[in-house]
A and B are shown apart, each in its own frame.
Chain A
């Protein structure tokens, strides 16, 4: 073979290897966590291993639309993941356990299905998800969170905590203004307890409103409002009316998935709950709402949040949900 021919072949082989081999080499050494809408696969990989105390460096990219990333039960700011770009993030875990990471952007109707887990190993005897307090309140109270809990009586106008405060000043009701009573009872149960007073119906509801507000703080309500806007409003609506941007899509998805079931009852399960529905909300205790949030909707579009929100966050969120029923003095709604 002549030298020019040999040289040309060497150049061609080198260029081919350079064009294919080099990128392949670097590609295999650049592990990325891909985010896709849930119907296209969600997170990939969706299980990540880590060790307590060792920084975990993650490189995240989106294969379709804007997604977000956050880890439940952890103090961290969510980061955005832009399509085709790479977002670097470093996490360090203090306790072993299984953490849930999730999408924080409303990427599609199945946004809430975009979850994965980080399995953190280590010698710490107290894993992250073990509750020092034992079972959640709704479990220790033995509540059936799927049972109907409508309030038999509802107020004609929206109760006002401001009016309630003035009325409460002359009533022996200090036993109600503590977390144990508040969390275990529904507003309607307190309303019934006030039957022994001379208050009118609307006055009793005003007092209930005041008691409910006195069991939270403006900071807790603000935190609940923020959590609601980020995580709940997509389905339940910004004003809590069950009319979020995905509500129609959920109803459509529910209809198509319920063709072999019994119809209306199951269909209703796919419709986001309306927090402005007084019967439903005034008949629900904070403990019952805790159960629903922790566990999720079981077969409906309502995800379980137990692995994501801390206990404190859940109570803050619940306090905010009642603000759709009551006019609070802070008026955060």
Chain B
């Protein structure tokens, strides 16, 4: 299947080039985000009736993992409100072109940290506390506020969207999985970019800002670090940048060889499996340990969590693909072959999320009418009773997602193995075993 340029349709192009549609969405998202913080801090402490828990961890998460990431890649980043106040502050404007002289420190992000290791860590930090975070509104409120103010703080010190690019715990895995999505932003003609004066897409111009994600669109070969902010489409003087519809997992045909991205794949795959065991499994002691943050049991849980993700799963993978050779080539092969885990991890998350999203979706109705638990009934749905949805299709749906993920991974593994010039069978065996374990955990 060849690519279809969506921006060649006038309605799409004008919607992207005009700042107002995106700004309108931004404003709604920002208001919702601020309200979620407020609800977490002043609303009922009962998570199932608090807007911050219900709309962030059920509604938003469902949209993100079941729709936005698989089909739109970094589509969420295109409308995410977290970087906006910091970015507006950084530029001193909402719509106007920025001043030539920076208003703030405008430092470059440290070279040693120009990778996603910090995002791996920030995700794991939230993951280790997730049992509390996902159920306690004021903790969710504090974390949401911390992310907002963290992004604002970084915007005043570093150039562009340093928080999104290097720290956001969500942005890291969205970037990883966006490689599998059927949407991309790419240049149309490389030669045009080579000869373009001033590279306004990266440096900014009177038409707009330089890439907030610190990416030169002319060099884009994969979705990972393009936040789909559309700014380059507005600044490109040659109309050389397009949004394309493309086949799924197009970026995975040319695997990355970066260890930070390889470990992100293990972080996500392992987290999905551990969550399935802890949150959905029958082991109450495990669940208790995850909830009792700070106790000895929790420290054991945390050590096991990190051990599985950073030692056991990568070691098993390394064992599967090991051959006698020098370390450098092994690391490259390790990172290349771990690309196979990207579709598998994405579908693990889809299968896991189906379970708790369908189970808890009806809380959305009640929370919509009474978001703070103050006894309101804004839309007449405050008394909506809790009941799991679509229970009959849950298990088949999860099985389909997991088996589909395995097939997708096998296809990716064969391409990656071909790239690394090794057999794909050990990687396929690893993915098969992981899928069996996930099936056992979920079904």
**A residues neighboring B (CB under 8 Å):** 1-2, 4-5, 8-9, 11-12, 15-16, 18-20, 23-24, 26-27, 30, 32, 59, 61-64, 83-86, 88
Alpha-carbon separation in the docked complex, A1 to B372 (Å): 38
B95 to A84, Cβ gap below 8 A?
no
Are A16 and B31 CB-contacts (below 8 A) given A27-B372, A85-B49, A85-B375?
A: yes
Q: Which residues of A contact B311 (CB under 8 A)?
A: none
Which of chain A's residues has its CB closest to B383's CB? A85
Which of chain B's residues has its CB closest to A36's CB? B45
Alpha-carbon separation in the docked complex, A27 to B370 (Å): 12
Q: Which of A5, A15, A63 has the most CB of B within 10 A?
A: A15
B42 to A15, Cβ gap below 8 A?
no
A23 to B375, Cβ gap below 8 A?
no
Alpha-carbon separation in the docked complex, A18 to B48 (Å): 24
Asked if B44 CB lies within 8 Å of chain A CBs, one says yes
B38 to A23, Cβ gap below 8 A?
yes
B residues 1-52 with Cβ under 8 Å of A? 23, 27-28, 30-32, 34-35, 38-39, 42, 44-46, 48-50
A85 to B373, Cβ gap below 8 A?
yes
Q: Which residues of B contact A86 (CB under 8 A)?
A: 370, 373-375
Alpha-carbon separation in the docked complex, A59 to B375 (Å): 8
B residues 306-320 with Cβ under 8 Å of A? none
Are A15 and B30 CB-contacts (below 8 A) given A24-B38, A61-B44, A84-B44?
A: yes
Closest 4 A-B residue pairs measured CB to CB?
A: A84-B49, A86-B375, A84-B46, A19-B31
Q: Which residues of A contact B93 (CB under 8 A)?
A: 5
Q: Which residues of B contact A12 (CB under 8 A)?
A: 27, 30, 88, 94
Alpha-carbon separation in the docked complex, A59 to B371 (Å): 17
B42 to A27, Cβ gap below 8 A?
yes
A20 to B35, Cβ gap below 8 A?
yes
A5 to B95, Cβ gap below 8 A?
yes
Alpha-carbon separation in the docked complex, A64 to B135 (Å): 12
B28 to A15, Cβ gap below 8 A?
yes
Alpha-carbon separation in the docked complex, A59 to B50 (Å): 18
Sample (16) of A-B pairs whose CB atoms are under 8 Å apart:
A2-B95, A11-B23, A11-B27, A15-B27, A15-B30, A19-B30, A20-B35, A23-B42, A24-B42, A26-B376, A27-B372, A27-B374, A32-B374, A61-B373, A61-B375, A84-B46
Task: Give 14 A-B pairs besides A15-B31, A61-B375, A84-B373 with Cβ atoms closer than 8 angstroms.
Answer: A11-B23, A12-B94, A15-B27, A23-B35, A26-B374, A61-B44, A63-B44, A63-B46, A64-B46, A83-B48, A84-B49, A85-B370, A85-B375, A86-B370
Which of chain A's residues has its CB closest to B84's CB? A12
Alpha-carbon separation in the docked complex, A19 to B372 (Å): 13
A23 to B372, Cβ gap below 8 A?
yes
Select one of B38, B48, B88 contacting A84, CB under 8 A: B48
B34 to A64, Cβ gap below 8 A?
no
Q: Which residues of B contact A88 (CB under 8 A)?
A: 375
Distance in angstroms from B132 CB to nearest chain A CB is 15
Asked if B96 CB lies within 8 Å of chain A CBs, one says yes
Select one of A19, A24, A26, A32 contacting B32, CB under 8 A: A19
Alpha-carbon separation in the docked complex, A11 to B28 (Å): 10
Distance in angstroms from A45 CB to nearest chain B CB is 16
Q: Which residues of A contact B49 (CB under 8 A)?
A: 83-85
Q: Which residues of A contact B30 (CB under 8 A)?
A: 12, 15-16, 19
B28 to A64, Cβ gap below 8 A?
no
Q: Which residues of B contact A27 (CB under 8 A)?
A: 42, 372, 374
Which of chain A's residues has its CB closest to B33's CB? A19
Are A9 and B375 CB-contacts (below 8 A) given A61-B44, A83-B46?
A: no
Q: Which residues of A contact B94 (CB under 8 A)?
A: 5, 8-9, 12
B48 to A19, Cβ gap below 8 A?
no
Q: Which residues of B contact A15 (CB under 8 A)?
A: 27-28, 30-31
Alpha-carbon separation in the docked complex, A86 to B377 (Å): 11
Distance in angstroms from A212 CB to nearest chain B CB is 47
Q: Which residues of A contact B374 (CB under 8 A)?
A: 26-27, 30, 32, 86
Distance in angstroms from A167 CB to nearest chain B CB is 57
Alpha-carbon separation in the docked complex, A9 to B92 (Å): 11
Alpha-carbon separation in the docked complex, A190 to B394 (Å): 69
Q: Which residues of A contact B32 (CB under 8 A)?
A: 19
Alpha-carbon separation in the docked complex, A63 to B42 (Å): 12
Distance in angstroms from A264 CB to nearest chain B CB is 31
Q: Which residues of A contact B28 (CB under 8 A)?
A: 15
Distance in angstroms from B400 CB to nearest chain A CB is 34
Q: Fill in one digit per residue for B362-373: 1 if any A CB lies within 8 Å of its CB, else 0.
A: 000000001111
Select one of A9, A18, A30, A64 contacting B45, CB under 8 A: A64
Q: Which residues of A contact B23 (CB under 8 A)?
A: 8, 11
Which of chain B's residues has its CB closest to A28's CB? B42
Q: Which residues of A contact B371 (CB under 8 A)?
A: 23
B residues 330-378 with Cβ under 8 Å of A? 370-376
Distance in angstroms from B195 CB to nearest chain A CB is 32
Alpha-carbon separation in the docked complex, A147 to B94 (Å): 80
B38 to A30, Cβ gap below 8 A?
no
Q: Which of A8, A59, A61 has the most CB of B within 10 A?
A: A8
Q: Which of B23, B370, B374 has the most CB of A within 10 A?
A: B374
Distance in angstroms from A30 CB to nearest chain B CB is 5
Which of chain B's residues has its CB closest to A9's CB? B94
A16 to B372, Cβ gap below 8 A?
no
Alpha-carbon separation in the docked complex, A23 to B49 (Å): 16
B residues 370-410 with Cβ under 8 Å of A? 370-376
Q: Which residues of B contact A85 (CB under 8 A)?
A: 49, 370, 373, 375
